């Protein structure tokens, strides 16, 4: 998917953060979806050096793709590419296109204790309910059409 990020509205309304940094904070927030926090990486590195833990691959944050109230799924970002398209006088980006590639994570990909497991399960239950609604609606439609 492509996400367009633009500071035009914030700059027009006089937003001081946008005036000082453009869309830098928004781009940084998107990039941080790929990586665990630096505090976690440092803490795990110290524990590893102390011999307290074995090698632990640091995990990034739980990322959700929200397409509406009934369409929320956990995802793993696989790639992110930012193309900065316009800049202010201090060369802060004020418009960019962000290309995202993601994989939806299901209950097969996550441990039961992970919040993403429950979120995907809710998503699945909602899809099953919609499929049942479609089947009932189709049956009712065919009965009313046959009776005409």
Domain total in the chain: 2
Residues 98, 113: one domain? no
Q: Is residue 127 part of a domain?
A: yes
| pLDDT at residue 144 greater than cutoff 80 | no
Question: Secondary structure of the chain: what % helix, strand, coil (to 5)?
Answer: 45, 25, 30
d(CA 6, CA 114) in angstroms, rounded, equals 34
Q: Is residue 71 part of a domain?
A: no
Q: Is residue 143 part of a domain?
A: yes
Residues 8, 52: one domain? yes
| pLDDT at residue 56 greater than cutoff 70 | no
What does the pLDDT look like over 63-103, one tens digit per residue? 999 988 888 999 999 999 999 999 999 999 999 999 999 99
pTM above 0.85, yes or no: no
Phi and psi (nearest 5°) for 66? -110, 115
Q: Are 110 and 116 in contact (CB under 8 A)?
A: yes
Residues 17, 88: one domain? yes
State the pLDDT confidence band at 57, using cuts at 50, 70 and 90.
low
Residues 87, 127: one domain? no
Domain limits for position 50: 2-66+76-104
d(CA 94, CA 4) in angstroms, rounded, equals 11
What does the pLDDT look like over 106-129, one tens digit per residue? 999 999 999 999 999 999 999 999
């Amino acid at each position: 998917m492509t996400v367009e990020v633009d500071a035009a509205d914030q700059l027009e309304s006089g937003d001081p953060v946008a005036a000082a940094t453009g869309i830098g904070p928004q781009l940084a927030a998107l990039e941080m979806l790929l990586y665990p926090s630096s505090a976690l990486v440092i803490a795990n590195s110290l524990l590893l050096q102390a011999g307290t833990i074995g090698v632990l691959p640091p995990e990034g944050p739980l990322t959700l793709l929200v397409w509406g109230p009934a369409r929320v799924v956990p995802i793993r970002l696989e790639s992110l590419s930012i193309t900065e398209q316009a800049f202010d006088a201090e060369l802060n980006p004020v418009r960019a296109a962000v290309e995202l590639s993601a994989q939806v994570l299901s209950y097969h990909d996550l441990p039961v204790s992970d919040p993403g497991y429950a979120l995907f399960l809710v998503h699945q239950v909602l899809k099953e309910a919609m499929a049942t609604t479609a089947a009932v609606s189709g049956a009712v439609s065919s009965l009313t059409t046959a009776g005409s």
